[in-house]
Amino acid sequence: MGQPTPARTATRTRATDRDWWRDAVIYQVYVRSFADGDGDGTGDLAGVRSRLPYLAQLGVDALWFNPWYPSPMKDGGYDVADYRGIDPAFGTLAEAEKLIAEARELGIRTIVDIVPNHVSDRHPWFRAAVAAGPGSPERELFHFRPGRGAHGELPPNDWPSQFVGSTEPVWTRLPDGEWYLHLFTPEQPDLNWAHPVVRQEHEDILRFWFERGVAGVRIDSAALLAKDPALPDLAAGPDPHPFVDRDELHDVYRAWRRVADAYDGVFVGEVWLPDPERFARYLRPDELHTAFNFSFLSCPWDAGRLRGSIDSTLAEHAPVGAPATWVLCNHDVTRTVTRYGRADTGFDFATKAFGTPADLALGTRRARAAALLSLALPGAVYLYQGEELGLPEADVPVDRLHDPMYFRSGGADPGRDGCRVPLPWTADAPHAGFGSGEEPWLPQPVGWGAYAVDRQQHDADSLLTLYRRAIAARPAFGTGPLTWLPAPEGVLAFTRGRDESRTDAICVLNLAATPTELPPHTGLLLTSGPLDDTGRLPRDTAAWLTP
Ligand code: NOJ
């Protein structure tokens, strides 16, 4: 630790600047919890603008903003009431435009989050549909159906909630007797993607944001939009699946790609699919540019499993020519240092529980090594705010929880608030420097200030310093493919280079119980922790070497 790193001058051999997304480092901003500029306890665009120098110094290429639109916040903004505005708690559209431009001046692109599967129940379309009544054209934009049972008192089908662990139905009945479909909360009615107006509207929304200078769009729940119009019961075993990964979706994304291409815009899809071949279909050259790699995120801390995940990721992307993405965390999952400090180091929505013990020192050591692993792999890397500070999952008191996942599981699932707690910027300031006014919307745990940016930024051994150095040194790996090196059991070692014929840097990660010798090298670029007295790489530690 603490070695000097090369300045970010090493050349990458990107074909053109238009290919920036193929190997970008993309920082995820959950605006509500990033920085509170106006002191009302909620993060906002003013807060983000004031911290752009921090993000530039970190060295990221782009920011992905979770939904920032007007929203009743029944699902953290994934219940959108107006796709062309900014929630007043966050700022104004003019301010978003300024932010996009200011970031771009610092070399940082912007990615917005579009939520096409559902809208808020406060969206004008849904309000009109409710008011217009059964049989109206307004209701055709959604999935309204009569109920089953003698009096229509039973939901129209047996589909399960897409909030894993939810015990609640995906249908809600209106006073006029009709039911409407919502794969998430009742405040998030699903749109009918068989309707041309729905398709047209979303293409217009994409244009709206591309016109404002955004470089990319993250697509929420990207594999769920299309529904079998017969809405058959799942118990009947319908094939294809009535609402997951239906073939009609590919037409939707081909049309979106035509819109994006006019602006050099790029997509990243939220596609949770176990089948690699089905996943890769979304990444064909005329569809989405990239999709999140949830198999890597969910993978346990185990050499064989990680290598398998890396190999299968690269193999599934190769035939379609799309770059992989490497994701360790986001606003939906247990924070990395907590996950890696548990007995079960994988991630699974179905097994989340209150009170799971975690060894945070162990988890942090592994998270440091995982940072060097993911930043050395070929493709784009996503970094969730606070991951660079090593924030653990916070224990939010149950009476302060907001997340519908908690409420819709009857209180069994802890929900996702623990990874959404406002960031600590200044250790000794009120609210750890998140904002200088009211209490943050989610409480920060005692001791949160210890993770603050001001504590870490001049500390050569901090995780923030490691991330800064690694992002700066990362071009050493070039843009060439990965080649595995022979390594002892439990150790992963690979090389990459500027092109296929060169080896410019080596990454080694030791997941075995004992220290391991480093492979032959001429220089040490960076390590995630100290080497032992004999220069060996200890357990749960990674190193970047020059050959
Ligand atoms: C995925 C988002 O990441 C999550 O936060 C949200 O609850 C669901 N989609 C529904 O929009």
pLDDT of the residue at 13:
44
What per-residue confidence (pLDDT) applies to 16?
A: 63
Distance CA 68, CA 74 (A): 13
Does residue 191 lie in a domain region? no
Is the separation of the CB atoms in 177 and 146 below 8 Å? Answer: yes
Query: What is the per-residue pLDDT across 58-80, written as a single tens digit (0 to 9) for each?
Result: 999 999 999 999 999 999 999 99
Cβ atoms of 206 and 259 within 8 Å: the answer is yes
pLDDT for 282-308, tens place per residue?
999 999 999 999 999 999 999 999 999
Check the CA dihedral 228-348-325-456 and report its sign: positive
pLDDT tens-digit series, residues 29-46: 999 999 999 999 999 999
Quote the CA–CA distance of 72 and 126 in Å, as a whole number.
14
Ligand 1 neighbour 183 (Cβ under 6 A): no
Of 414, 438, 471, which closes a domain? 471
pLDDT of residue 503: 86
CATH number of 333's domain: 3.20.20.80
- pLDDT per position as a tens digit, 182-230: 999 999 999 999 999 999 999 999 999 999 999 999 999 999 999 999 9
Q: What are phi and psi of 541, to 5 degrees?
A: -130, 145
User: Which of 30, 163, 220 best tests ligand 1's pocket when mutated (most atoms within 8 Å of CB)?
Assistant: 220
Strand ranges of the sheet holding 491-496, from the earlier edge strand across to the other edge: 483-484, 491-496, 505-510, 541-546, 523-527
The active-site residue out of 36, 138, 190, 270 is 270
User: What is the span of the domain harbouring residue 237?
Assistant: 8-117+196-471
CB atoms < 10 A from the CB of 204, how many? 12
R_g of the chain computed on alpha carbons: 23
Same structural domain, 255 and 347? yes
Q: Of 471, 489, 513, which marks where a domain is finished? A: 471
The interaxial angle of helices 248-261 and 196-211, nearest 10 deg, is 30
CATH of the domain at 513: 2.60.40.1180
Q: Could you read off the pLDDT of 133-153 as tens digits, one per residue? A: 999 999 999 999 999 999 999
Tokens, residue 373: 């692993």
A 10 A CB-CB count for 284 gives 16
Angstrom distance (rounded) from CA 400 to CA 394 = 12
Q: Which amino acid is at 229?
A: P
- Domain identity same for 134 and 100: no
Tokens of 295: 């198999």
**Ligand 1 atom nearest to 115, measured from its CA:** 11
374 pLDDT above the threshold of 50? yes
Percent of the chain with pLDDT over 90: 95
423 pocket-lining for ligand 1 (C-beta < 6 Å): no
pLDDT (mean) for 404-425: 96
The distance from CA 385 to its chain's CA centroid, rounded to whole angstroms, is 10
In contact, 144 and 133? CB cutoff 8 Å: no
| Residue 62, strand partner residues | 26, 109
3-state secondary structure of 546: strand
Tell whether ligand 1 has an atom less than 6 A from the beta carbon of residue 184: yes
188 falls within a domain: no
State the pLDDT at residue 541.
98
Q: What is the pLDDT of residue 164?
A: 85
The C-alpha atoms of residue 109 and residue 61 are separated, in whole angstroms, by 6
Q: What is the mean pLDDT of residues 261-274?
A: 97
Coil/strand/helix, residue 189:
coil
- Are 211 and 144 in contact by the 8 Å Cβ rule? The answer is no
Cα–Cα distance measured from residue 203 to residue 200, given in angstroms and rounded to the nearest whole number: 5
Confidence bin at 47 (pLDDT 50/70/90): very high
| pLDDT higher than threshold 80 for residue 354 | yes
Nearest atom in ligand 1 to the alpha carbon of residue 405 is 7
Do 51 and 36 fall within a single domain?
A: yes
Q: What is the number of helices (H) and of strands (E) in the chain?
A: 14, 16
Pocket of ligand 1 contains residue 75 by CB under 6 Å: yes
Does any domain span residue 370? yes
pTM over 0.85: yes
Protein residue with its CA nearest to atom 2 in ligand 1: 220
Nearest atom (ligand 1) to Cα of 78: 11
Q: Is residue 2 part of a domain?
A: no
The Cα–Cα gap between 324 and 302 comes to 20
Helix ranges, 168-247 (H): 196-211
Same domain, yes or no: 437 and 485: no
What's the whole-number mean pLDDT along residues 431-447?
97
Catalytic residue status for 270? yes
User: Do 386 and 521 belong to one domain?
Assistant: no
- Lookup result for tokens 């929304």: 205
What CATH number is associated with residue 145?
Answer: 3.90.400
Question: Tokens at residue 76, please?
Answer: 């953290």
Mutate to test the pocket of ligand 1, among 29, 78, 190 (most ligand atoms within 8 A of CB): 78
202 neighbors 256 (Cβ within 8 angstroms): yes
The single residue of 38, 75, 79, 220 carrying the catalytic annotation is 220
- Please say whether the beta carbons of 119 and 188 come within 8 A: yes
**Is the CB of 73 within 6 Å of ligand 1?**
no
Instruction: Look up 533 and say whether it is catalytic.
Output: no
**Residue with more model confidence, 12 or 399:** 399
| Contact (CB, 8 A) for 220 and 132 | no
* Residue whose tokens read 């908690």: 406
d(CA 440, CA 442): 5
Indicate the length of the chain as a whole number.
Answer: 547
Does residue 268 share a domain with residue 200? yes
Let me know whether 234 and 91 are in one domain. Answer: yes
Q: Do 161 and 253 belong to one domain?
A: no
Please report the pLDDT score of residue 463 as a whole number.
Answer: 98
Distance CA 511, CA 8 (A): 29
With beta carbons less than 8 A apart as the criterion, state whether 28 and 416 touch: no
Instruction: Using alpha carbons, select from 108, 2, 20, 12 the residue that is nearest to residue 58.
Output: 108
CA distance 292 to 347: 15
Assess whether 267 and 374 both reside in one domain: yes
**248 inside domain:** yes
Same domain flag for 379 and 443: yes
Residue 545 pairs in a beta bridge with 506, 524
> Which alpha helices (H) appear in 212-302, and where do they start and end?
248-261, 276-281, 294-298
Residue 144 belongs to a domain = yes
Please say if the pLDDT value at position 2 is more than 70: no
Contact residues for 64 (Cβ-Cβ < 8 A; gap 6+): 26, 27, 28, 29, 111, 112, 113, 216, 218, 268, 382
Nearest to 392 by CA among 447, 466, 458, 456: 447
Rounded distance between C-alpha atoms, residue 284 and residue 508, angstroms: 32
For all residues of the chain together, what is the average pLDDT? 96
**In this structure, are residues 178 and 153 in contact, taking their beta carbons and an 8 Å threshold?**
no
Q: Is residue 3 part of a domain?
A: no
Q: What is the mean pLDDT of residues 529-547?
A: 98
Q: Residue 8: pLDDT above 80?
A: no
DSSP label at 325? Answer: E
Domain total of the chain: 3
Whether residues 353 and 499 fall in one domain: no
Is residue 119 over pLDDT 50? yes
Q: What pLDDT is stored for residue 167 in this prediction?
A: 82
Do 344 and 451 lie in one domain? The reply is yes
- 299 part of a folded domain: yes
AA identity, residue 399: D
**Residue that has been written with the tokens 């799309």 in this structure:** 322
For the cut 80, the answer to whether the pLDDT of residue 14 exceeds it is no
Ligand 1 within 6 A of 220 CB? Answer: yes
Instruction: Measure Cα distances from 413 to 399, 407, 427, 429 in Å.
Output: 14, 8, 31, 33
